[in-house]
Structure 1
Amino acid sequence: MGLDTITSKPHEALAELLADDMSAVNGLIEDRMASEHAPRIPEVTAHLVGAGGKRLRPMLTLAAARLCGYEGPFHIHLAATVEFIHTATLLHDDVVDESAQRRGRPTANLLWDNKSSVLVGDYLFSRSFQLMTETGNIDVLRILSNASATIAEGEVLQLTAATDLKTTEGIYLQVVRGKTAALFSAATEVGGVIAGADADNVQALFDYGDALGIAFQIADDLLDYQGDSAQTGKNVGDDFRERKLTLPVIKAVAQATDEERAFWIRTIEKGRQEEGDLDHAMALMDKYGTLAATRDDALDWAAKAKSAISRLPDHEIRALLGGIADYVVARLN
């Protein structure tokens, strides 16, 4: 989903500023994804890592550490840890979602098989725990292990919530906090913790990552219904066809008449979709203004991220982090 769709790209400026650190992170990732006894592990991992991506989450860890004045070596370990956790979840998600494409390339489960994707994901989770323990910091171990558990919990919750019309905005937010925002907030929080930042600054970094992750996911869910397929890499309405209850639909269901609710039960809960159903779903969302309301929610969360980052010391990185918060929702204009 494209952070490439806007002309101004603060994440690229951040990547340039952190280029030496990111080079060290990439080197550590390459070293730790190796396996002497199971060559399929580096094959599968290299396929996904080689598909590109912005490495936004590990960059957030590096940025938070530098913003808080860290001069030691372990921000590199933590950034690599965050990327390993993220990559592991992608491998598992593609199996659960039966995905055939990611970042414009065939998924690992399609090129190899589901067993390979699940087991290599498990291996990367294990590597991530090895890396975080090498820092010798019990607080970062607590934060990242809690995030890993929260991510898994969020994915399991989504299994039942995604097709249940009783799913509320509160449950949706809980899912999003689990599957997306938990790693964003952990990535920023551990950067401050490893730097020895005070409690207020660590909390500000956590709040920023949490709000940024929520804004990012809400924007992605909205773009599924009104994005440009050439830029997003997804067909408009994929979430509807896959029976995923995301925020625009949840808002429409909450206001539905009995007849409209019967439509949502047939198409989402029971999965009996017919030609023209997507157009009707879009018409219902337009009737109740749920796409515009979802956009407002994304903008609100981006504003919360910027408010959180404003509590941190004045620094060029702080300005770039604020720019990233604007950037993830600028895709919606």
Structure 2
Amino acid sequence: MQAALELIGEDLKQVEEQFRKDLESDVPLIRKVGEYVLASGGKRIRPAMLLLAARLCEYQGNQAIPLASVVEFIHTATLLHDDVVDSATLRRGLASANTLWGNEASVLIGDFLFSKSFSLMVAAGSLDVLRVMSKATTVIAEGEVLQLLYTGEVELTEQQYIEVVRAKTAVLLSAACQCGAILGGVSPEQEQALADFGMELGIAFQLMDDILDYTASEEEFGKSIGHDLEEGKLTLPLIHALRGCSDEERGAVTAIIEKDELTPEDFRLVSDLVQSYGGIEYTVEKARDCVANCARHLSCFPANSCKAALLDLAEYVVTRNR
């Protein structure tokens, strides 16, 4: 992240200020919960990608920071809703908003952030940005429903899982990059190249999250280890392991997924299975393939500090430990 921060560190600080400004409401709880989630940290990768993409496309106007804030608004809304759906208790190492204020407040404040995002985009005055972001939010919702349908599905294929990842996670990173390109007024080919870059980076980001769920501590990961498994959600390391395991092992995993509560022994059994069948190594390889694709997508742009920072950001995704 260092190269990106050197270029846009001050801009990211302005994004934080813009976020707080855009949280203004006559309802105090909205600001309280919004600022809590904002202050809990996060890597700000999505606004960073929009800012870097806009710079790469030589944008000189004043809309990049407000739109970067909008992207983080949308991301924060999805986090609030996700934690309710997943019954999560931790987010970025702290108590999740639904744990502190309840599911009802989390859902409604997530709705506020979504609604506010669209009013802010209208104020930005770009129909193309509004088109891209509205499509992205629709796809995110579809991805959430698709993941729900696949819950507990031991026969889930890699292709089906990547479809969920594209919709639920990667599409917002893709939209952030594409909006930067729209601001810069580049050619349709370059706009699509940045959208594709963001999509590949988003997939790599989620795949590394899948790995951390098996390899990191809760303190490192910032959320409950094994929670996806407890919720019946299969991720790529386990999907790969199930392709090679015995019928007996598959049966044991199926029984664990069907349980209401995951024990440490259950998680250890599945984790050992993932390790023994190379699920971690396979997923890392897939993430690295995505990062290699990122570099190819940016080949239509000249070499400069912004391009280097975007590529460094992609590399950071597959080397991070949280």
Q: Is TM more than 0.5 here? A: yes
Which residue of 2 is the match for residue 281 of structure 1? 270
Which residue of 1 is the match for residue 16 of structure 2? 26
Which residue of 2 is the match for residue 111 of structure 1? 100
Which residue of 1 is the match for residue 55 of structure 2? 66
Q: Percent identity between the aligned chains?
A: 45
CA displacement at 1:33 relative to structure 2: 0.6
- The reply to whether residue 77 of structure 1 matches residue 66 of structure 2 is yes
- The reply to whether residue 15 of structure 1 matches residue 5 of structure 2 is yes
Of 224-233 and 274-283, more deviation after overlay is shown by 274-283
CA displacement at 1:128 relative to structure 2: 0.6
CA RMSD of the aligned region, Å? 1.8
CA displacement at 1:16 relative to structure 2: 3.2
CA distance in 1 between partners of 2:225 and 2:105 (Å):
30
Aligned-partner residue type, residue 303 of structure 1 = A
How has the CA–CA distance of structure 1 residues 50 and 331 changed in structure 2, closer, same or farther, with 3 Å as cutoff? Answer: closer
Contact 1:162 1:246 in 2 (8 A): no
Aligned-partner residue type, residue 159 of structure 2 = G
CA displacement at 1:273 relative to structure 2: 5.2
CA distance in 1 between partners of 2:317 and 2:156 (Å):
25
Which residue, 250, 260, 270 being the options, matches 1:261? 250
Residues 200-224 of structure 1: CA distance to partner in whole angstroms, max 9, x if unpaired?
1111111110010100100010111
Higher normalized helix content (fraction of residues): 2
CA distance in 1 between partners of 2:262 and 2:34 (Å):
36
Contact 2:288 2:318 in 1 (8 A): yes
How has the CA–CA distance of structure 1 residues 191 and 212 changed in structure 2, closer, same or farther, with 3 Å as cutoff? Answer: same
- The reply to whether residue 319 of structure 1 matches residue 298 of structure 2 is no
CA distance in 2 between partners of 1:268 and 1:34 (Å):
43
Gap regions ≥5 residues in structure 2: none
Secondary structure of 1:244's counterpart equals coil
Matches within 5 A, 1:1-333: 11-36=1-26, 38-234=27-223, 236-271=225-260, 276-331=265-320
How has the CA–CA distance of structure 1 residues 17 and 150 changed in structure 2, closer, same or farther, with 3 Å as cutoff? Answer: same
How has the CA–CA distance of structure 1 residues 279 and 27 changed in structure 2, closer, same or farther, with 3 Å as cutoff? Answer: closer
Contact 2:90 2:223 in 1 (8 A): no
Gap regions ≥5 residues in structure 1: 1-10
Contact 2:94 2:222 in 1 (8 A): no
Of 247-256 and 272-281, more deviation after overlay is shown by 272-281
Aligned-partner residue type, residue 126 of structure 2 = N
Contact 1:64 1:188 in 2 (8 A): yes
Residues 249-285 of structure 1: CA distance to partner in whole angstroms, max 9, x if unpaired?
1112223332222112211145575663333223322
Residues 293-333 of structure 1: CA distance to partner in whole angstroms, max 9, x if unpaired?
1111111111111221233222201101111111111137x
CA distance in 1 between partners of 2:9 and 2:219 (Å):
29
Q: How many residues align?
A: 321
CA distance in 1 between partners of 2:28 and 2:219 (Å):
35
CA distance in 1 between partners of 2:220 and 2:44 (Å):
18
Secondary structure of 1:276's counterpart equals helix
Aligned-partner residue type, residue 145 of structure 1 = S
Of 92-101 and 247-256, more deviation after overlay is shown by 247-256
Residues 80-118 of structure 1: CA distance to partner in whole angstroms, max 9, x if unpaired?
110110010111111111111212221111111111111
How has the CA–CA distance of structure 1 residues 284 and 40 changed in structure 2, closer, same or farther, with 3 Å as cutoff? Answer: same
Secondary structure of 1:129's counterpart equals helix
Secondary structure of 2:318's counterpart equals helix
How has the CA–CA distance of structure 1 residues 125 and 250 changed in structure 2, closer, same or farther, with 3 Å as cutoff? Answer: same
Aligned-partner residue type, residue 46 of structure 1 = E
Secondary structure of 2:82's counterpart equals helix
Secondary structure of 1:330's counterpart equals coil
How has the CA–CA distance of structure 1 residues 121 and 230 changed in structure 2, closer, same or farther, with 3 Å as cutoff? Answer: closer
Contact 1:52 1:103 in 2 (8 A): yes
TM-score (norm 2): 0.94
CA distance in 2 between partners of 1:177 and 1:236 (Å):
23
CA displacement at 1:245 relative to structure 2: 0.5
